[in-house]
Structure 1
Amino acid sequence: MTALRTFRFGFFVGVRDFTSFWGWKSWFGGWMVQMIAQAVFFSLLARLFESPDQERFLLIGYAVAVGAANVAWTIQSTAWDRWMGTYPLLVIAPSSLAPAVMGRTSIWLPAGVATTLLTLSFMAIVFDLALPWPAAIAVVPLVVLTSLSTYCFSLFLGALVIRIPGARNFIHSVITIGARAFCGVSVPVSFWPEGVQIVVQVLPITHGLQAIRLLFDEAPATQVLISASLELAVALGWITLALIAMDRMANAGRADGSIEFV
């Protein structure tokens, strides 16, 4: 109950932080315009090659990828708290650091879901993307699942970045660019060597994006569920590692005093 209460208050702090960082005008007029422009650019690039299949592939891929990039701001968010001197106060508490950090950073999860759904809706209208009805309703939980998996992975990386906050932007850039290159956003996963294909099986986006593609292709429900189940397994794996990493970081900070005001 204490952990849930800590998470709830952490979430309220995260919401206040988010709204001080983004107003509705700046979020829609700044962030969303930027994300939609990225998705439109790559979709138009495919249109130059007169390839409807490639256009559809990139359209769906980048609509999901821009939302994941938003969720990955979790990495920076964990480092911001250290710059502000929050962690010394949390580390001295006789409890896990995880509920406070997860509550504080979880605001990026709904932000990422909204980014993907709005981008996908815009692209569907502009590029006349066929939405299989009523199966298209399942896009929402699949986007939530993919964003959740990305959040769990970002939380793990954030736990590592707490010790090296100066690397936060570099790691975010590497992760977002890497996901677009290797996880089936820009090209099929099968395009890459076998070693890369094996690695991306345990990364977020890969299976969730595949499930969304299968849904749009009106594939059998069992295929969609298999890909979704794999994405859920990836999420559970990364959240487990994130919780372990956060506790180890906190214990190390208590032992050597390395978590201090920076």
Structure 2
Amino acid sequence: MAPDRLTSGEPIDETAALLATFRFAAVIGWRDFRASYRWYTYVGGWLVRVVAQAAFLASVGLLVGSESVAHRIAIGAACASAATGALLAIPMATRERALGTAGLLVVSPAGLVPSMLGRAVDRLVDGGLMSATALVAVFAYLPEVRLLHPSSLLLPVLAMAMAYSSTCLAMTLAGVALLWPDARNLLSASLTVPLTLLSGAVLPHELTGRLALLSHLLPLGNGVQGCRQLALGDAAGALLPLLAEVLVGSVWLVAAIGSLRVTQSWATRRAGLV
């Protein structure tokens, strides 16, 4: 029989322990997701909703008599759906508080960070799947776009990149929601419209000046530009926005880790989550 690691005197690999906690939390999040949806409710309800939303917003362009504006808004709305599922990570982070397990996570050796980030993986997958589905539907509708083209393989990659950056932004604010759970839905809902507008997703014209700079620093902005480049057949032009979107997501990931560590420190000192 192999000796017990806790009694053998061998040092514990902290990195491996953190990764194991992250993986376990991701599995729990996936099981929660499966408990909430069946494939037919997800496809017939959630995915139909995001496609219908893109079609509805695109109809605004048709009302003003501009087909190009309709196409532009349809692509942007499909991109913005990545944030719809991702921002739900904010209220879902407070589930641990409702279940009474948040305090245990705070005092655990791994802490809040790997557990909370692991639980948010299903939000990343959900947001990416929603956006990819809506983008494929929009690209299949647009007559001037060749969907069955190798460059179209970038669509799901861009969708996942936008979901990644949006999820990291959500987890940055999840620490606030853990300390003040009454603000969870306010934080999630109040972010959706500004994020969609500042990314230029549903605006008829390109953003300029400081707003354009801000759109590149927030989730969605670069991904929206990349998808519009793909619609124009410029696959090479979509690569830089893709890399920029991943970079923005990584910056927000660092911010999320810092936010959760501050939350843990605050809760440890004031017994806020115990």
TM-score of the aligned structures, taking structure 1 as reference length: 0.91
Q: Compute the displacement of 1:148 (Å).
A: 0.9
Structure 1 residues 189, 234: CA separation in 2 closer, same or farther (over 3 Å shift)?
farther
Matched, 1:73 2:93: no
Kept in 2: contact 1:91–1:253 (CA 8 A): yes
Counterpart in the other structure of 2:183: 167
Q: Alignment partner for residue 63 of structure 1, among 78, 82, 95?
A: 78
Does residue 219 of structure 2 align to residue 218 of structure 1? no
Task: Determine whether 1:84 maps to 2:105.
Answer: no
State the alpha-carbon separation in 2 of the partners of residues 130 and 50 from structure 1.
Answer: 20
Residue 12 to residue 34, structure 1, CA distance change in 2 (3 Å):
same
- C-alpha contact (below 8 Å) 1:81/1:87 kept by paired residues: yes
Match of 1:105 in 2: 120
Report the equivalent of 1:250. 264
Q: What percent of counterpart residues are identical?
A: 25
- Residue 69 of structure 2 is matched in structure 1 by 54
Alpha-carbon distance in 2 for matches of 1:239, 1:43: 32
Code of the residue aligned with 2:127 in structure 1: it is: G
Aligned to 2:156: 140
Q: Name the residue aligned to 2:13.
A: none
- Structure 2 CA distance for partners of 1:12 and 1:25, relative to 1, 3 Å: same
Distance in 1, Cα, partners of 2:109 & 2:133: 42
Please give the alpha-carbon distance, in whole angstroms, between the structure 2 residues aligned to 1:111 and 1:37. Answer: 17
Higher relative contact order (CA 8 A, sep 6+): 1
AA partner of residue 59 (structure 1): A
Q: CA RMSD in A?
A: 1.8
Instruction: Report the secondary structure of 1:162's partner residue.
Output: helix
Equivalent-residue separation in structure 2 for 1:141 and 1:100 (angstroms): 25
Matched to 1:213, the amino acid is R
Report 1:201-240 matches (<5 A): 201-219=216-234, 221=236, 223-240=237-254
Counterpart CA distance in 2 for 1:82 and 1:173 is 20
Deviation at 1:67, TM superposition (A): 2.3
Gaps of 5+ in 2: 1-15
> 1:114 maps to which residue?
129
Shift of 1:157: 1.3
Q: CA deviation at 1:224?
A: 2.3
Q: 1:154 aligns with which of 170, 176, 181?
A: 170
8 Å CA contact 2:25–2:116 kept in 1: the answer is yes
Query: 1: distance between equivalents of 2:255 and 2:126?
Result: 23
Number of aligned positions between the proteins: 258
Structure 1 gap segments, 5+ residues each: none
Deviation at 1:189, TM superposition (A): 7.2
1:22 aligns with 2:22: no
| Pair member with larger Rg | 2
Cα distance between partner residues in 1 of 2:243 and 2:137 = 28
Deviations 1:91-134 (A, max 9, x none): 11123311111111211111111111212222333454613622
How many Å apart are 1:248 and its aligned residue?
1.3
Q: Which residue of 2 aligns with 1:241?
A: 255
